[in-house]
Structure 1
Amino acid sequence: MSANHNPKQNTFLIDLTKCTGCRGCQVACKQWNQLEAEETEFFSGEGYQNPPAMSEYTFTRIKFRDYQKNGENEFAFYKEMCMHCDDPACASVCPVGAFEKTPEGPVIYKADRCIGCRFCMVACPFGVPKYEWSKGLPLVRKCTGCYSRVKEGLKPACATACPTAIEYGPRDEMVKIAKERLANHPDKYIKKIYGLHEAGGTSVLYLTNLPFDELGFKDVTQRPLPDYTWQALRFVPASFLAVGGTLSALSWINHRRERLMNQNATSEQAHTPAEEKEE
């Protein structure tokens, strides 16, 4: 299976040398997706991070690392988010088709199909999908690349809010810009575009002046991950896949039942006389 490169799909170009750590992208993401705030926690080796980690309430965040430069303390910032892989591993392992790579670029998640099996969490090389631990019947959540905005011709909330570091446009244009910066400023950047080939290529590209591993970027294969997941799934018993199909059907039935109950309740409330409502 080869990477599904679409040169016109929308892609983030994040230049970490231009990131000021303002967290405007982080705030915009929470506002657009109506996500709750989280308390700052201490992580050994990373200092105080806010929010402490990606979670069901945090789809993107700014991490920071301090380092020494010419005898002085400096800070480096790194925007963590879903990489929106060209061939997403999450979609390849999901037994109910809850993940989909769209032609526009974002990898979207369909909660009405999800059965909470967490295969996607195991398969994702970047550790992006997160479990809803706060709920009694948990599913998973992740960044959808603001697909509802993108399909209307708008930029994602984080790219719109960022004043300096994030550009967003067709992948071939973002790759061209990134390569031009590397060629024109060889002393400013590490000679690498992270995301160009990682996991077969992604819709998020990074430039930086520090080694990527020092910033916490994961060293992943350049081979599309579905190549591996399909090999692994060959050995999954057919009976287990049948269980997945059954769970999918039950999930659909339950979601449909809930929707009908909500619709009936709304309808009954709308037709209840005002006198009865007051009583």
Structure 2
Amino acid sequence: MSAGTVNYAQTRSFLIDTTKCTGCRGCQVACKQWNQLKAEKTTFFSGEGYQNPPQMSEYTFTRVKFKDYEKHGQNEFAFYKEMCMHCNEPACASVCPVGAFHKTPEGPVVYDSKKCIGCRFCMVACPFGVPKYEWSKAFPLVKKCTGCYSRVKAGLEPACATACPTAITYGSRDEMLKEASRRIAAKPERYYKTIYGKEEAGGTGVLYLTQQPLDELGFKKITKRPLPSYTWQALRLVPGIFLTVGGTLSAISWFQHRKDRIRKEEEGMQEKDK
């Protein structure tokens, strides 16, 4: 990724207003439909909350989190959509040794499965725990929200933003930041005076407005410093021979099985067409 080629102020970004989210989970359904993701067996109560599925996975790129809290002696629910944050300077891209991830000029952080060697550094580096591995497959790939990049390139909004009736606004990052600030100024009694994602991890392509303090809703406290500066410091502590040998072995294994993986996928598609 070449940071100099991306104008972050003009990248397309999400503004998610949790005070307007009704928990309908229309965004989850739209994401499943557009990305043709399989259904998965889930448990309604995960111990963390009432969200279902209980966590993101290779089959779930986004989910609405349910957070219960007490207000004026009454039990209330707060909802917010969890997804890839599409960071301005994504840690996943900074640690990938083969450039399988990159930040697009349009905004989404995308993944090229043809380059991936299965090292899973991206999963370790992401502070939001977004990339997921296809543990169910013999020759797995990494899966995550794409920001509906194909739709965005065609001038459309992401599927989740199109489906949401109230909470998701989509536009340039600069416009979304201005809109978030406008809402806080217009109704200070309604909003917690912080825009999550404005500076976290150096800035992200997903911005949140909340009514409650962020820690009460379970938002992770993330450094404001761009994460690639940390990841490269960490990688410098790893012996070069380990990275070289590990990467070489992963690449050899990947290329040895690549034909088998492609063949199995083609056979699967042929079976579906019958």
* Shorter-chain TM-score above 0.5: yes
Q: In structure 2, what is the equivalent of residue 160 of structure 1?
A: 162
Q: Secondary structure at the match of 1:149?
A: helix
The answer as to 2:137 corresponding to 1:109 is: no
Q: Deviations over 1:113-166 (max 9, x none)?
A: 222211111110001011212112222211010111111111111001001000
Distance 1:249 1:45, change over 3 A: closer
Does the 8 Å CA contact 2:69/2:75 hold for their aligned counterparts? yes
The root-mean-square deviation of aligned C-alpha atoms, in Å, is 2.4
Q: In structure 2, what is the equivalent of residue 144 of structure 1?
A: 146
Q: In structure 2, what is the equivalent of residue 40 of structure 1?
A: 43
Q: Secondary structure at the match of 1:206?
A: strand
Q: Secondary structure at the match of 2:9?
A: coil
Q: In structure 1, what is the equivalent of residue 128 of structure 2?
A: 126
CA distance in 2, matches of 1:245, 1:153: 40
Identity in percent: 68
CA distance in 2, matches of 1:145, 1:183: 29
Does the 8 Å CA contact 1:5/1:201 hold for their aligned counterparts? no
Distance 1:66 1:157, change over 3 A: same
CA distance in 2, matches of 1:98, 1:65: 34
Q: In structure 1, what is the equivalent of residue 181 of structure 2?
A: 179
Q: In structure 1, what is the equivalent of residue 254 of structure 2?
A: 251
Deviation at 1:185, TM superposition (A): 1.0
TM-score, structure 1 normalization: 0.87
CA distance in 2, matches of 1:255, 1:155: 34
CA distance in 2, matches of 1:183, 1:63: 26
CA distance in 1, matches of 2:244, 2:28: 40
Please, which moves more after superposition, 79-88 or 246-255? 246-255
Which of 68, 71, 75 lines up with 2:77 in the alignment? 75
TM-score, structure 2 normalization: 0.89
Structure 2 unpaired stretches of 5+ = none
TM superposition outliers: structure 1 runs of 4+ over 6 Å: none
Provide the aligned length of Structure 1 versus Structure 2: 264
The letter of the residue matching 1:102 is T
Which of 85, 92, 105 lines up with 1:90 in the alignment? 92
Q: Which has the larger radius of gyration?
A: 1
Structure 1 unpaired stretches of 5+ = 270-279
Q: In structure 2, what is the equivalent of residue 31 of structure 1?
A: 33
Q: Secondary structure at the match of 2:117?
A: coil
Deviation at 1:238, TM superposition (A): 2.4
Q: Secondary structure at the match of 1:77?
A: strand
